[in-house]
Structure formats: structure tokens, C-alpha cells
Chain A
Amino acid sequence: MLKFAYEMKKDLTISAARRGLAAGEFSSFELTEYYLDRIERNSDLNAFVTIDREKSLFSARKADEKIAGGINMPLLGIPIAVKDLFCTNGMRTTACSRILSDFVPGYESTVTQNLLDDGAVFLGKTNMDEFAMGSANVTSYFGHCFLPFRKKSNPSVKLVPGGSSGGSASAVSSDLCVAATGSDTGGSIRQPASFAGLVGIKPTYGLCSRWGMIAFASSLDQAGPITKTVEDAAIMLKSMAGYDPKDSTSENIDIPDYQKVIGQSIKGLRIGLVSEFMSGLSQENLALIEKTCSWLKDSGCELVDLSLKTVPYSLPAYYIIAPAEASSNLARYDGVRYGYRAEGCRTMEELFVRSRSEGFGEEVKRRILAGTYVLSAGYYDAYYSKALKIRKMISNDFRDNAFSRVDAILSMTTPTPAFSVEESDKMTPVEMYLNDVFTVTANIAGLPGISIPAGLSGDGLPMGVQLIGDKFQEEILLRIAHVLEKCANFGELKKAVLMEDMG
């Protein structure tokens, strides 16, 4: 019986959990307890940096009361995890930086408030790269985080979950929660989703409010979900998105019912293959793209070859714009009002310099310095101003040469599958930045992107493909993604390679 109850809760999607809760197969309290126990037993994955058992169980109990009272909400009683970039009222929010390691906000981010309003139960805050700066979760102040997958060729070595939403990807793929929030500035949702065999959406810029989400690069940051299935992604996105008058860059549009498109035919849709995304792909990646293309063709899509000449400039533009904004956004962490403050400082300058030197990690400092440099007098025109122009050109290129001809663009999500900490240590910063080569474009152009698990590498690791759509065309992406999900049948593939569970 006990075994049966446990099996029932295993690998639940949001829709399955909703059914189970509604049928009384388990309560939200039981489900929350199940995940809290799993989080504890799998603490070596280091997916969570803060949990509050009492608080989670309390809100689960509240959800159970509502369920008993016949109240219906999209996420009522569903235990989810929150990236530690979202401010949560009364719960420590650190951005996985020493400088905020004791920071407890007195306010709730709009995105997490939306989820709470829909009845979600928060299990805790997930690990991430410090201030979302990284692609391997190795810059976190709270230590490395790991995947439930290993290379067949080297099963003893732990692998990173990607970044920056590494903890969320680790937690969802290890079944430590039903779903999780992430944020994506250059690929921070899609790359970890791809490494972890999950679905991740970076919505159109302006779809989700940025209020209360700790800023990395304001013009690029977007919140989005990391989930086990495309349908879950649709449910989570619907809940997270929405106009927010507190965020001047949020778009005042009606949010469609994304779940409705799940299962709809994709016949007649035109899918673009951009030559600039294809050049230099590994044999394994090419094979996966070809396989995906055949699925799309079989589903009635038309494949269109495209060239977007500006695409190769996305990554350089990104690594000017993002650090520039970050250098300014992170200036508030000065040890004066909150957060880490260096001890025994004699002067104001010393307080600033030491609090920031001791409070920030290496990668964050590197980007602050780079950002400060590109904005400084005499360099602004050469770098920042030029990057903004390139950004505009990239946007126009997509508008004029892609979305006038196709409904979505297909590419790999990442150049390689997951790697180890040792491998990441050997990478230069630039090599690490190349992880974002396929994903940054969507951020630069403000377009929606989704990563869907499409297959396994020869070494037994998940591989994701990416779809990029036109602004606010998340519905089309979800439709296509759901078809691909079925074709790839990744759920079955995954069973063969998932590590033995800790229980």
C-alpha cells in the first residue's frame, strides 16, 4: 500500500497531480511532504538553497481546505520550486550571491504572486548561478548543483545542470517538485532544460512581469517555466504571465489559454531552418535536427531554408549589452541598506569596495568590469551604442527575413549536452559563453523560445531542440513543441538513462 501511494506520486506532471488531487488519491499536504522528503534525501544534488518545511506544509494544508471546499484553481495544491532570483515575501532570496546571502524581502515578485494566486505551493528556492550569470551553475555562492544523469562513458562523474536556472532544472528532472520557475537572460531557462531533458520557455520580452525578479540585464531578462512536459509549460506560463503596471516594460495584452493549443494539428505550419544556426554543427546535433525535421514533415509542416545574416552578431552584442546593464543594476549592492557588509570599514569608500569585493563572486565581478568598461567615456560609441544598433538590425532581420516567411525557427538549444564541473573549469569564460550561442538571439530580439527534449546523445545524455517564434506567438511554439514531444517520446528514452533514484 505504501509502495503504491509512493508510486502514485512519482514523476507527476501538473495535469496528473491535478487529477490526483481532485480524485482524492493524495492531498496537497501528502504531495508536499513527498517532495520535501525527496529534497532532503537528494540533498547531494544541491538543487535547493532554501526550504521552509513548515511554511510549505502550511500552504499545502490551506490548499487542501480549498480543494475540500470545491474551489478550483489552475495550480491549487501543486508543489513547485522557485528560482532564487524571484523575491518571495518573508523567505530568503539570495540570487545565490554572498552579497544577498541573508536577504529576506518584504515583498513578493509579481510572477510568484501570480502562481500563489493560482494556488501553487512553494517548496523552496532553487540553486542558480550567482545573479543568473553562468551556464553551468558553478558560480553559485551555495555550491555546485547536479543532474540526475551521467555519461555512459564516465558514470562516476557528476554533471552540471547548466545555468543559470540549474537548480530548477535539477529539481524538476530529479522529481523534487512538479515544476519550477526559471529566468532567461541569454539562455538560462532553455539551456538547463535541454541539459536536464525538460521543457523550458523563454517568453516574449514583456509577457511576464519583471517586478520583484532580481535584475541581471533588464532589457533581456524574462521569467519562464521549466517543466516535465509541454502541457505543464503551457499551464505554468498562463499563470506566470500577465500585464503588470508595476513593470513599465510589461506588455498590456490578453494572455491566451495556452493549454488549449495542446494537441492541435501543426499541419501547414512553415518551419525555418536558419543556415547561420546550422553551420559547424556536430554530427550528433545534425542528426537530431534531421530527425526533428522528419517529424515535422510527417506532421504536415513545410520546411523552409533561411539565412539571417545578422544572427552571428547576437552573442557579441549580448556580451556587451548584458554586462553593461548588469554593471548598473548591481550597483545597488553596496553594503549600505541591506545585504552583505564588510566588517570594520573606516571610510565610505572602503565600505563600498570591500563589501562588493567580498560579496560578489569572480564571474559577477568579471561582468561588472566588462560592463563598466563598455559604458565608459570614449568606449560607449564603440561598444554599447554599436551593440544597440546591431540589436535593432537583428530584430529587423527576424521580422523581414524570417517571420514574413515562416511560423517558427528550429535550431539546437545548446552546442553540447551536459558536462562536468571539471570540464567547465577547463573552459575559458568565452568558451563558457558559447553555450548561449543558439539561445541569446531570442533574448536580443525579444522573441519567445522554447527548448524541448528531442533525444539522447551517444553518451546517454538528454539533447534539446529549440523553437523560436515571432513576438507573442507562444501558442504556435507550444503547438509544435507538443507534437515534437510526442514524436521524440523522450519520457521513455529517459527511463533508460536516469540515475538510480535515492527514493
Chain B
Amino acid sequence: MGRSALRRKENQHFTEDLTQVSQAPGADGYRSDGWETVIGLEVHAQISTKSKLFSGSPTDFGSDPNSQVSFYDAAMPGTLPVLNTAAIDLAIKTGLSINGTINKISRFDRKNYFYPDLPAGYQISQLYFPIVTNGYIDIDLPNGPSTKRINIERIHIEQDAGKSIHDLSPESSYIDLNRSGIPLMEIVSRPDMRSSDEAMQYVKKLRTILRYIETCDCNMERGNLRVDANISIRRPGEPFGNRVEIKNINSIRFLGQALNYEAERQIMARESGEEIIQETRLFDAGTGETRPMRTKENSDDYRYFPDPDLRPVILTDERIAKIMGGLPELPDAKRARFIMEYGLPESDAAILTEDMVTARYFEKAVSASKFKESPRLIANWITGELFAFLNKSGKNIDELAFPIEYIGELVDLILNKTISGNIAKSVFARMVESNENPLKIVTDQGLTQIRDDSIIKKVVEEVIAKNPNQVDEYKSGKQQLFGFFVGQCMKALQGKGNPEIINEILRKALG
């Protein structure tokens, strides 16, 4: 399945989920049972760099185990990290796109813990001085056009760990260090979300932005966008409750499931007088439930301290300004412009701007049209026929074999009355098969609309002559039979008759 097909699939799940939520909060954020859910998300996004954060090893996905591991990545004695500046630039780009403050001095710290797939025994991260702080994004609320601001506390850069593989042998575990040292951005929201819907919208919006600015592929199946959710519940006026962290969520749909399950579990616990313990739970996609992670005997103490192998990251205004200047039009701005400039309805603008390729294709199609009123129609064709075709064929929009301008040309054929909307559908069907341009299809197949009064008049006369009974009924008041006559005429004209001219002549003929 192609990328955008996958994306659409996730989106479908997303809309399904909106309807599944049983206890959607009211406008005040409280559920009808009086509990408020408080959610904060930590999103780990793989930064789209060619090489790792502190070594020159490639970051390609799906390579043979341990084939992308330098001496440094395996933490061989004496090896040292060298910062990949491309990762810093992409993090800055991300920070600017979420309206964050770019900190001109940031620093790397070591997070110390033992784990077999953490080769150095510490992860290089940014605890004390992250590169981005105080950002936000606005999410759409499901009911109506209103938006909600979700604050983003920080974005920090860190290394990914390797992968432990336990299912290859009953006796041994294996370790793959290909992921070890891959650059990640951890995007940490404030606990600003009040329902699973908001949480899903937040991740969806974040994903759209990251894809726009191309700082992360956001492929959740490959693990380059991972979400950990913090959730607690409280009664109105209470301080935040003990929070539970949910890990192992690898799709937006699962995020919704996990949060809904966890909210219910916590509410049930509290209502039966139990306390919520602060803990980490794993989401089980098989059962849709969360369960406690095996707790370590002693609580984690990561002994963070500044990494003495690295110098602080010091940014100049020029560097930040240059990245700012290279930012593309962001989704919110693009959507607003589509509404203003093309007169698109909110919903179409939202769908078309959800990813940048689709938006670009839409604008290309519009530019191929000669009619001022075409954008709304083009938007309909793209979100309707074209998306249906892409879904069926499992293709991305950028994998189309014909130029997207054809959609604009097709719409023009309708607008200049060469073909009817119905004929256009068969032209489209032919176009996606043969990749021929719509005008050629129309010409070759003789699909041009018949507008000649004398031809249509002849057909109308024939239809009236063949159906005397219906003519009588119509004349005695059964007005709905008009459609029947139109249908008969169209059939005789093989669908090519201009409907307005048929209507006009028929009306006259039927008196």
C-alpha cells in the first residue's frame, strides 16, 4: 500500500473513532459522568537525516541487522560523538513550525541506564537545555469549526536505542543496533488535552505539519513516529490526579483505544475507592487494553549530567533566520488561503491541505483550468473520484501516470458544456486506464455533447410519439413523468445530449 493510501486508511480509522467515543466531553471538558480526562503526549519523531545523530552511519530502514553500525554506534572504547548539524537544522525548522522559541544555546545531557540495546549505557538527550521551548499548535475540534490550542512544552533532540529481538531463539536474545543513534525529536505537549479525540487530532495535526516541513516521515508502522501518552483523571476543581504513562502505541487509532480504555479503567478504579498509582502501562493492540509494565525494583534514576564529549549547541540569529526563510506555507495558512482564494468549503480545504502533495496537485489542476469557477469542482473531483481511484489502486497521488492538469481540463470540458457531468465520469474512468488527455478521449469516442436543436428536437418528437400513454398522464397532471421523458431522450442520444437543451425542447413539446 502506498504512503498516502496508508494515510487515508489511518484517517478513516480516525473518523470511525470519533463516533466510537462513548463519553465525549461537553464544551467545558467534563464528561457527563463528571470526570475530566487530562492528557499530555510525548511524540518521538525520527528526524529525517541521511546519517545518524552522532555518527556517519546511514539511517535507511529495513537493512540487514547490524549493517548500519559504526564503532561509535556500538559504543566501542574510545569512540566519540560528532553532532550531525543537519539534525539540528531540522529540529529548528520543526520548532519554528510549531510556533516555538528556538533556544540559541542548548546542550546535550547523558541519561544513564543499563539496557542491552543501549550500547553506551546512556542515551544522549537534552534534559536541562532543550533546543525548542514554548510552542503550540491549534487543533480542530470534531464538532464544528472551532479550534483548540495545545501548548508544546519543549522539543529536545536525542538518540534512539537499538532493538532487542527475543523471538529468534528460545535461549538467546539478539540485538540489532541499526536504530542505535538515529536522531529523534521528542515533542512534549502540556497536559492540555481533555479527550482521546483531542489527543488524536493533536497527533494528526502534528503529523501533517512534520510532513509539510519534511522533518519526519511520520511512518508509524516503521516506528518513526511514536507516541507515549500520559493520562490522569480528576473531578472538577481537583488538582491533577496521578498520571499513568502508556507506551507501545503505534497508530492513531490505537492511541484513541488506549486512552479510552485507560480513562474508563481509572474512573472505575476511582469510583470503587481505589487510588491510581503512577506507573507505566503497555497498550496491547490485540485486546485493546493497557497492562502494567513489569516494574523495576528500584525507581529509575537516570543520573542526567551534561555530556562532556560534546560542546553546547550555539545558534546564530542568521542560521535561524535562514531556516525560517526556507519554511514552506504551513497547513493552517494554506487552508485559510484555499478558502479565501479558491472559495473552497472548509471541509474540502481541510482535506486538500492535509498533505502538501495533494495541496500542490490541487493547485496544479486549478492552474490548468480556464474557468474562474473551476476550483470548487476540481476540489470535488479530487476528493471524490480521484481519491476513490487512488484508494482502490493503492497508489499515492504523486504516483499517477497522467498529469494532474487533466483534472482541470476535464472540469473545463464540463464548464464549457462539451460534456455533461455524467459523461465526465466515464471520461475519468477511461483516463485513469489509458492516461490519455480528456479532450482526446471525448473526441475519439465521440462523447461531445449534442447541442444541435434540430437533432434534439427530432429525438424529442420520437420519444413523444413512442409513449402516448405517458404523454396523456403527464398532461393530466402527473408532472413527475418529466424526468422519464428526459431519460428517454438522453438514452436515445447515448447520454450525450445537453440536458438543458433537452429540458427546454421537451417542455415546449409537451406544452
Contacts and interface: CB of A to CB of B under 8 A. Distances in A.
A332 B309 contact: no
B157 to A, nearest CB: 15
B77 A337 contact: no
A332 B121 contact: yes
B114 A352 contact: yes
A214 B305 contact: no
A273 interface: no
Given A325-B308, A331-B121, A332-B119, A213 B114 contact: no
Nearest to A331: B121
Contact of B122 (A213, A249, A331, A377): A331
Interface in B293-338: 301, 303-305, 308-311
Nearest to B83: A248
Contacts of A376: 301, 303
Contact of B75 (A86, A332, A348): A332
Interface stretch (A46-54, A105-113, A147-155, A469-477): A105-113
Given A103-B77, A213-B78, A375-B305, A331 B112 contact: yes
A248 B305 contact: no
B175 A336 contact: yes
Given A376-B303, A377-B301, A212 B122 contact: no
A246 B80 contact: yes
Q: How large is the interface on B (under 10, 10 to 19, 20 to 34, 35 or more residues)?
A: 20 to 34
Nearest to A388: B306
B71 interface: yes
Contacts of B305: 324-325, 328, 375, 380, 384
Contacts of A482: none
The majority secondary structure among interface residues of chain B is loop
B299 to A, nearest CB: 9
Contacts of A336: 116, 119, 175
Contacts of B309: 215, 218, 248-249
Contacts of A219: 308
B303 A338 contact: no
B76 to A, nearest CB: 7
A298 B311 CA distance: 44
Interface in B63-84: 71, 74-83
A248 B80 contact: yes
Contact of B303 (A100, A245, A375): A375
B121 A248 contact: no
A105 B76 contact: yes
Interface in B224-272: none
Interface string A305-347: 0000000000000000000110110111010111000000000
A390 to B, nearest CB: 15
Contacts of A338: 76
A251 B114 CA distance: 32
Interface residues of A, number: 43
Contacts of A330: 121
B4 to A, nearest CB: 40
Interface in A132-152: none
B173 interface: yes
A248 B81 contact: yes
Given A87-B78, A100-B77, A375 B116 contact: no
Given A248-B83, A249-B309, A211 B121 contact: no
A372 interface: yes
A211 B311 CA distance: 15
A221 to B, nearest CB: 9
B165 to A, nearest CB: 13
Contacts of B119: 332, 336-337
A337 B74 contact: yes
A105 B77 contact: yes
B305 to A, nearest CB: 6
Contacts of A217: 308
B274 to A, nearest CB: 28
Interface string A369-388: 00010011100100010000
B120 interface: yes
Contacts of B71: 106-107
A106 B70 CA distance: 11
Most interface-central of B110, B114, B311 (chain A CB within 10 A):
B114
Contacts of B173: 348
A109 B78 contact: yes
Contacts of A95: 77
A211 B78 contact: yes
A245 B76 contact: no
Contact of B77 (A93, A249, A324, A328): A93
Contacts of B310: 248-249
A210 B82 CA distance: 12
Nearest to B70: A107
A376 B80 CA distance: 24
22 contacts: A95-B77, A103-B77, A105-B78, A211-B80, A218-B309, A246-B82, A247-B80, A248-B83, A249-B310, A249-B311, A327-B112, A328-B122, A334-B114, A336-B116, A336-B175, A338-B76, A348-B173, A375-B112, A375-B303, A375-B304, A376-B301, A380-B303
The 9 tightest CB contacts between A and B, nearest first, are A331-B121, A375-B303, A219-B308, A218-B308, A332-B75, A212-B78, A214-B77, A87-B78, A214-B78
Given A246-B80, A248-B80, 4 more contacts: A87-B76, A211-B80, A248-B81, A380-B303
Interface of A: 86-87, 93, 95, 100, 103, 105-107, 109, 210-215, 217-219, 245-249, 324-325, 327-328, 330-332, 334, 336-338, 348, 352, 372, 375-377, 380, 384
Interface of B: 71, 74-83, 110, 112, 114, 116, 119-122, 173, 175, 301, 303-305, 308-311
